[in-house]
Homo-oligomer: A and B are copies of this chain.
Amino acid sequence: MATYLADNQTRFLNELMDWLRIPSVSADPKFHADVLRAADFLKARLEEAGVQNVEICPTAGNPIVYGEYMVSPEAKTVLVYGHYDVQPADPYELWNSPPFEPVIKDEKIYARGACDDKGQVYMHVKAFEMMMRDGQGGVPCNIKFMFEGEEEIGSNNLEIFVRANKEKLKADVILISDTGILANDVPSIEVGLRGLSYHEVTVTGPNRDLHSGLYGGAVQNPINALCEMIASLHDENGHITIPGFYDNVDELSADERAEMAKAPFSEDEFKQSIGLPASYGEKGYSSMERTSIRPTLDVNGIWGGYTGEGAKTVIASKAHAKISMRLVPHQTSAEISELFQKHFTSIAPAGVTVEVHPHHGGEPVVTPTDSVAYQAAADAMETTFGKRPVPTRGGGSIPIVAMFKSELGLDTVLLGFGLDSDAIHSPNEHFGVFNFLKGIETIPHFYRNYAAAE
């Protein structure tokens, strides 16, 4: 490991932990002041590292932190994107240590946002500082930093900002660290991401909560009705039953699937790592395929009726669920949202009414592996890991990758350092100290490789 990194790693970790102490939860308005504090913190650290023209750009929602370092008008320009907002941390009682009091345990940093995405954003801040100070040739190309505070709630204002600042954001490629590698000894780069269609549904029956003894049997119970509707969204083979849902799905060839199957993956380890009693999923596909090249439908939350202690004999007036679908190329969020809305409304049984409220969506994307930027990233990882990274198709969604392509005409390199086991969006989210430091070590190699390429 380079001397500068070795000499400064404790400080780097402490700075990150200071940032993780700020609960920048974008989904819940009560954390709004903390979100702004997290943006200010980031601005200050970018300035200290030597980034120029750092500004807090206001939006209709949470601000975007922007800064740049221009070496020459002729040099290539990399636009680095990340987000400083984090997922809600509940249920708090399942955390082994408080989500906003970071601790390092077993060589991992435990905190909400440790990996997604503050930890990975902070790799970029420190990689930049290192290039500025380690005497290894300085910063080899133009870099623009753009970090938003609304990734976990749909990036709506980022899109507006990007549209309004196309000149300012002009670049040759986008670099994002918000994904992962297969294992610490199996480096990989994601070259595909699933899209997202997310809805909140409300089923309404009687106009008020009713006593289940007096009314039970003569009233369509909205919770039972919602369960019935949700159950009908999959058939016995795990296929999604929404008419037209699979029409535009990009089906991989047998060769492509055979190629995918070569990636190291153990079904047993997969099950064991998350305590699954048995495999499950769409018939005819492997677990790896189910989480990458196949679309899905999951209920992310459900609630209705009495959920407190003890027994209350009530028939609720309303039942609610959050339902999301992961999309694959060439499904579009708009198309699938419309199909879902139409279908879900149509399957409401007699005695209830249904409302479907769409949340933000995102488009699926496949990034090129034959580009200069991808090769620069692969070479950088090969240098620092000692192994050529495997290109993989990821299951998650970074909707802004498709947006960057359509609005700025730019491809993205997903140079992420997390692990599937990091429990992002879950209690006890963490990020390996190895991964954090490996990211800081690798990123400067990317810039140098990229700047040097023909």
Contact = CB atoms under 8 A, between A and B. Distances in A.
Nearest to A418: B214
Contacts of A320: 307
Interface in A294-311: 294-296, 298-311
Interface string A150-193: 00111000000000000000000000000000000000000000
A223 interface: yes
Interface stretch (A6-14, A276-284, A366-374): A276-284
Given A214-B420, A277-B352, 14 more contacts: A29-B309, A208-B274, A209-B427, A210-B425, A212-B326, A218-B291, A219-B281, A223-B300, A223-B301, A227-B230, A231-B231, A300-B315, A312-B322, A314-B426
Interface string A209-242: 1111111111111011011101111100000000
Given A280-B349, A298-B315, A300-B311, A274 B227 contact: no
Chain A interface size, under 10 / 10 to 19 / 20 to 34 / 35 or more: 35 or more
A302 B312 contact: no
A291 B232 contact: no
Given A216-B296, A425-B314, A427-B208, A302 B281 contact: no
A211 B420 CA distance: 9
Contacts of A304: 299, 301-303
A119 interface: no
A39 to B, nearest CB: 19
A194 interface: yes
Contacts of A322: 305-307, 311-312
A88 interface: yes
A208 to B, nearest CB: 5
A94 interface: yes
Contacts of A352: 277
Given A216-B296, A311-B359, A350 B290 contact: no
A359 B234 CA distance: 32
Interface string A258-273: 0000000000001000
A10 to B, nearest CB: 30
Contacts of A316: 300-301
Contacts of A423: 208-209
Interface in A406-430: 420, 423-428
A87 interface: yes
A207 interface: yes
